[in-house]
Structure 1
Amino acid sequence: MARHQPIQLGTQIAGYQVEHEIGRGGMSVVYLATDLRLGRAAALKVLAPELTLIDDLRRRFINESRVAAAIDHPHIVPIYASGESDGVLYIAMRYVAGPDLGALLDRDGPLPVTDALGIAAQVASALDAAHENGLVHGDVKPGNILVAASGVGDDPYAYLMDFGLAKPSLDASSTSVGEFVGTLDYVAPEQISGRPVDGRGDLYSLACVVYEVLAGGPVFQRDDDMALLWAHQYDQPPELSGARPGLAPAVDSVMAKALAKASDDRFGSCREFVEELFSAAGGLAS
């Protein structure tokens, strides 16, 4: 895939002035920008110009803004505006001054139990809100969770972002066997095999994230992608209490249920999973 062509600093896009780059992914670049009408900072996400002619990527990018804007939730990044300006597809959203969860893990290592479960609870509430609106996020991972200080005792405040892959629950029409959209370390078995997906697929991905933020590494670690896909579909996950000394063994049965291969064997909601995990952890804050 061609490299992203940078937008010149100072460029104005639909009333937003580009200040500097703050992040990039496989299909987009995010800039800190100034809203020239309201004088506030914003995060301006721009589809890489060389990708704007690819219909599937255009639809995915446009879908992100529509889905996120339709769900009013305190832990989903608010959308200010979106559209196309002089051939540039953009989404303007609230600027969150904090790292994503993946960067936080790279910097600090595994999180304290209370912080990890607090973030999980916030993301769970955002996911359940999406599911109540008939939508599946489809790509829950540390890189799609922004973490900012709440200002209240410096407790972390999480925002779920990047709804570009979101689609209606139980919709497998765009996925055939052996194909999926998502990220390998967090992808649910039904996404891999092309079976219908609902909110329990996001729950599986959230459980993978929780394991990583507490253990310091992905739930399944394999030498190649095919082995990793196999593990998600057929291998039993390792016990979290063995990877995080001092964590109550009761968490293992909770994680096993959240990471069940069959979606019917998982919890009914993300909130239920996190509540059970809180209870099993026994209030430990190590």
Structure 2
Amino acid sequence: MDEGSRRDMSVFSGRPSDLIGRQIAGYRIEREIGRGGMAVVYQAKDLRLDRTVALKLLAPELARNDTFRGRFTHESRVAAAIDHPHIVPVFEAGETDGVLYIAMRYVAGRDLRHLLDREGPLPVAVATRIALQVASALDAAHDHGLVHRDVKPGNILVAQGTDSDHPEHVYLTDFGLTKKSLSLTGFTSVGQFVGTLDYVAPEQISGRPVDGRCDVYSLGCVVYETMAGKPPFQRDDDMALLWAHQYDQPPALSTKRPDIPDGVDAVLAKALSKSPDDRYDSCLAFVSALRIAARGQVSGGGTGSRADAEAAPGHPGPPPEPPAWARPVFRH
């Protein structure tokens, strides 16, 4: 390994303070705010525009793989093109000194992982508000042909909302580094994943083609954890956990939260179906059904499509018929 590569690897193997104060691609690094197997995220100052950003530096070995670099460039551009209030905006993505980087909006707040670790199971109203915002972000990404593939509490940022009616503002992050990109380069293969296995869809484990419905499954696991305090499947080792995602049925949420209406169990069971064909067609359809069930109402047997979501409460239907005495002045 040459001297440049050893210097780049210090981003991932050295002390968190090694890069503090250094300038990378026009950004001055101020402090580390997150670390994973393939990336480190720093709070940094954009020296050109004098603003604070979140700067993600990817592992140097990824930059040396031409296939990954091509996928990274394409997916970063797609992510940057999505203008959505619940997706962290991507400002810039590129390569400098053998390291790939992504500059994103810095979100002041904490991620859902820290929130759950601190507070435990969330009230139903809070859990559904968060789920609705995440679902909206995921469906927007799917409309752009981008599947997240790594929906988990650590990728959901919870910031302060605008008012008492919107106490949280949720952002979904980490679109620029997908499992598909890594698998195409040989950094992952069937049975190997970056990050936690608690939220991975069965088709990802078996190596089958994936679409937006794998994000429905992962969001279902996240929603389950926000209400139960733990993910739906807990096993002693990774292989047992992978087996559970593929073949075991999740325990009913109502056994852990008796205060939640029984209808929520059926909604989660559908979202966590082993086959994508048996799940909701969109994340918003899933969360819309969840909100109805959480109110103790019975769904009208919808198909689970986005059209059903648009017909859910909050979307006005046709106006009611006028009373008999007023009909002469109404025209149909």
TM-score (norm 2): 0.77
CA 1:48/1:166 → structure 2, altered by over 3 Å: closer, same or farther? Answer: closer
Stretches of structure 1 lacking an aligned partner (at least 5 in a row): none
CA 1:180/1:20 → structure 2, altered by over 3 Å: closer, same or farther? Answer: closer
| SS of structure 1 residue aligned to 2:163 | coil
Correspondent of 2:259 among 231, 239, 246:
246
**How big is each residue's C-alpha offset from its partner over 1:99-127, in whole Å with a ceiling of 9 and x where there is no partner?**
11111111111112111111100110111
The equivalent residue for 1:4 is 13
CA 1:60/1:114 → structure 2, altered by over 3 Å: closer, same or farther? Answer: farther
1:132 paired with 2:131, answer: no
The equivalent residue for 2:278 is 265
**How big is each residue's C-alpha offset from its partner over 1:133-166, in whole Å with a ceiling of 9 and x where there is no partner?**
1221111111111111113126111111111116
1:46 paired with 2:57, answer: yes
Structure 2 Cα separation of the partners of residues 273 and 173 of structure 1: 33
Correspondent of 1:225 among 227, 238, 243:
238
* 1:78–1:94 contact (8 Å) kept in structure 2: yes
Stretches of structure 2 lacking an aligned partner (at least 5 in a row): 1-8, 298-332
* 1:172–1:196 contact (8 Å) kept in structure 2: no
Correspondent of 2:134 among 123, 126, 139:
123
The equivalent residue for 1:74 is 85
Offset of residue 260 of structure 1: 0.7
CA 1:54/1:36 → structure 2, altered by over 3 Å: closer, same or farther? Answer: same
The equivalent residue for 1:25 is 36
The equivalent residue for 1:199 is 212
Correspondent of 1:158 among 162, 170, 175:
170
Structure (1 or 2) with the larger CA radius of gyration: 2
Structure 2 Cα separation of the partners of residues 173 and 23 of structure 1: 24
CA 1:51/1:263 → structure 2, altered by over 3 Å: closer, same or farther? Answer: closer
Offset of residue 67 of structure 1: 3.2
* 1:84–1:90 contact (8 Å) kept in structure 2: yes
| SS of structure 1 residue aligned to 2:198 | helix
Corresponding residue pairs, total:
282
Structure 2 Cα separation of the partners of residues 251 and 61 of structure 1: 38
TM-score (norm 1): 0.89
| SS of structure 2 residue aligned to 1:73 | coil
* 1:137–1:167 contact (8 Å) kept in structure 2: no
The equivalent residue for 2:111 is 100
Structure 1 Cα separation of the partners of residues 213 and 260 of structure 2: 25
Q: CA RMSD in A?
A: 2.7
Structure showing greater relative contact order (alpha-carbon pairs closer than 8 Å, 6 or more residues apart) = 1
* 2:261–2:296 contact (8 Å) kept in structure 1: no
Correspondent of 1:209 among 205, 222, 228:
222
Identity %: 67
> Residue 115 of structure 1 aligns to which amino acid in structure 2?
V
CA 1:60/1:220 → structure 2, altered by over 3 Å: closer, same or farther? Answer: farther
1:278 paired with 2:269, answer: no
CA 1:225/1:167 → structure 2, altered by over 3 Å: closer, same or farther? Answer: closer
The equivalent residue for 2:329 is none
* 1:22–1:30 contact (8 Å) kept in structure 2: yes
